[in-house]
Chains A and B, each alone.
Chain A
Amino acid sequence: MFRNVFWKTLYDQRRGLAGWSAAILILVGLESALWPSMREMTDLQEIYSKLPEELGKLFDLQSMTTGPGFLNAELFTLLLPALFLVYGIGHGAKSVAGEEEDGTLDLLLVMPITGARIVVQKALALFTCLFTLGLALFVATTSMSLVFDVGISAGQAASGSLAMTLLGAEYGALALAVGAIFGRRSTAIGVASAAATAAYVLYAAGLMVDAVEPWRPLSPFDQALTGGPLGAGLPAAYLWLVGGAAALVLIAMPALDGRDIAAHN
């Protein structure tokens, strides 16, 4: 487990990943368990139609009469994105800036390997962890769907889980890059959280305000959530998320070799 920075980072995350995976399983399980009673409510459509139109758009309430629609509205459009963002940003900020603030980065950088290699391995570890959480979400969604007869196919669950993973990866990579450039965990978390909030506001406003609508596809939330995310298939918009995360890693790569590393006191 201590062969390189990648494996060491995964080793550090082993408990955290187990905890987050368990939390996702419980969350999806509880929500799925509600579905049978929701389905029984015959006047559900009527209730939804009385809610403000904007709210309906934001949580795609029209589709809430189906199992996938119900989980999309309840979990995949706000709560799960938020969870993946919190994990991704926290992990990304810790990756480089955290090690620098803790004072452990010094000895890594004095090893005969480049700072760029450290950044790339840290980023790959971040993506692997998010992929693992995505996998946990996929397993939770499909298995709970079987248990509570939510009617979510493996393909639908896969697209939803992938969307969460990619969204977490983009903002995790942003936190990692900001941390690598500025060397401060708080700056990394602040910038990435602010960027995610701004992107969500753009997405939500785009859904509700016609004037903002043309700008909506620029938001990573739109790229991840439109058409699903459960059951979205494999939209081309996911490529923007992949490209964004990759570009951020490229930006972060030269950062450590190009600046002074703060001494630990």
Chain B
Amino acid sequence: MDAAIRTEGLSKNYRSHRALRELNLEVPRGVVFGYLGPNGAGKTTTIRILAGLISPTSGTATVLGNDVVDRCEDVQRHLGYLPGEFVGYPDLTGAQYLRYLAHLRGGVDWSEVERLAKRFELDLGKRFKTLSHGNKQKLGIVQAFMHRPELLILDEPTSGLDPIMQREFLALLRETRADGRTVFLSSHILSDVEAVADTVAILRSGELVITQSVDALREQALRRLELTFSGPPPVDQLKRAAGVQEINWDGSGTVQVEVAGSTAELLRIAAPHQIINVISHDADLEAIFLDYYTARS
């Protein structure tokens, strides 16, 4: 079966500005794919090309096997889309707006709309202009999911949601994936994506820096361990253990060690030296992302 999204050499120029450069991306079906990058990296440009709102300068993009330029309507029929800045009609109530979109799209089961609205505690009787930012965003989420699309392309979907609704939203993403459907999720906030994505791509200045599974990234990530010994720590031996990047020792019984990848050898070396406590901090993905965002080109 075709990938959910595949781009080849996808580029977009705005006058002299190169917003997207030679993007080669493949998103398999049935996953949650995180699309990360700092503001202005080209995330929204990619998304607007995939949704058929702008044309690429060069290269191709296919969504669910259809070219986004030549077979735009076929793509859109199976697409749920949430723009980065979701805007409704100020004077229309949520229900009126959703009915409008449902009619334009066709084939929407209204009970699904009601179910989603209830789940996100969204009052569909209120006019758009009276809704808070978070409630506007919920309306955007409902319109993206209401026709149970094969593929969801969501640009910064959690913006404005409170923590409870964020959790509800992440649960919805997991259910969508369990359904065999695909979610393409852009964000500049790592924790949003890390909690739910199978794979992430990191974009910087219009170029793809890396595409990797979240698990593999965690493997790479530096893990911080605090090892406490009853006697003097064997600092020199620990330094030689595989993966150890840095050791901090203040002369006490405790050393702080930063390890990339597996900690097995480090612990094997430490074990015979009367080790009395090990504290392991979570792999610091944030550091990896910041590294990709800023340092590498």
Chain B positions within 8 Å of A108 at CB level: 104
CB pair A106 B96 closer than 8 Å = no
Chain B positions within 8 Å of A12 at CB level: 89, 91
Contact of A4 among B74, B77, B91, B104 (CB under 8 A): B104
Chain A positions within 8 Å of B218 at CB level: none
Among listed A62-70, A156-164, A257-265, interface-contacting one: A257-265
Which residues of chain A (56-109) have a CB below 8 Å from chain B?
A: 102-104, 106-109
- Chain A, Cβ-Cβ closest to B97: A2
* B33 close to A (CB within 8 Å): no
CB distance from A19 to the nearest CB of B (A): 15
CA distance A5 to B103 in the complex (A): 10
CA distance A12 to B91 in the complex (A): 9
* B54 close to A (CB within 8 Å): yes
CB pair A5 B85 closer than 8 Å = no
Contact of A260 among B54, B72, B101, B103 (CB under 8 A): B54
Number of interface residues of B (CB under 8 A): 30
CB distance from B199 to the nearest CB of A (A): 24
- Chain B, Cβ-Cβ closest to A261: B53
CA distance A15 to B153 in the complex (A): 36
Given contacts A111-B105, A112-B76, A113-B73, contact A103 B54 (CB under 8 A): no
CB pair A2 B100 closer than 8 Å = yes
Among listed B24-32, B44-52, B223-231, B261-269, interface-contacting one: B44-52
Given contacts A106-B53, A260-B55, A261-B54, contact A112 B73 (CB under 8 A): yes
Given contacts A2-B96, A260-B55, contact A112 B81 (CB under 8 A): no
* A3 close to B (CB within 8 Å): yes
Which residues of chain A (91-140) have a CB below 8 Å from chain B?
A: 102-104, 106-114
CB pair A104 B55 closer than 8 Å = no
Interface string of B91-110 (1 = CB under 8 A from A): 10000100111011110000
CA distance A65 to B96 in the complex (A): 53
CA distance A265 to B48 in the complex (A): 14
CB pair B76 A264 closer than 8 Å = no
Interface string of B28-65 (1 = CB under 8 A from A): 00000000000000001000100111110000000000
CB pair A112 B87 closer than 8 Å = no
CB pair B96 A107 closer than 8 Å = no
- Chain A, Cβ-Cβ closest to B140: A107
Contact of B87 among A2, A104, A113 (CB under 8 A): A104
Contact of A104 among B44, B88, B103 (CB under 8 A): B88
CA distance A108 to B143 in the complex (A): 12
CB pair B53 A109 closer than 8 Å = yes
CA distance A110 to B74 in the complex (A): 11
CB distance from A64 to the nearest CB of B (A): 44
Given contacts A2-B96, A263-B48, contact A111 B85 (CB under 8 A): no
CB pair A114 B53 closer than 8 Å = no
Contact of A110 among B76, B103, B106 (CB under 8 A): B76
CB pair A5 B53 closer than 8 Å = no
CB pair A110 B79 closer than 8 Å = yes
* B83 close to A (CB within 8 Å): yes
Chain B positions within 8 Å of A112 at CB level: 73-74, 76-77, 105-106
CB pair B87 A102 closer than 8 Å = yes
CA distance A260 to B69 in the complex (A): 12
Among B52, B53, B79, B81, residue most surrounded by chain A Cβ atoms (within 10 Å): B53
Interface string of B122-150 (1 = CB under 8 A from A): 00000000000000000000010000000
New A-B contacts (6) at CB < 8 Å, excluding given A103-B87, A107-B81, A113-B104:
A12-B91, A112-B106, A257-B72, A261-B48, A261-B53, A264-B87
User: Shortest 9 CB-CB distances between A and B: which pairs?
Assistant: A103-B87, A260-B54, A2-B100, A112-B77, A111-B104, A112-B76, A261-B53, A110-B81, A264-B85
Give A residues with C-beta under 8 Å from B.
Answer: 2-5, 8, 12, 102-104, 106-114, 257, 260-261, 263-265
The contact sample of 12 A-B pairs, CB cut-off 8 A, is A2-B96, A12-B91, A103-B83, A103-B85, A106-B83, A107-B83, A110-B51, A110-B79, A112-B73, A112-B77, A257-B72, A261-B54
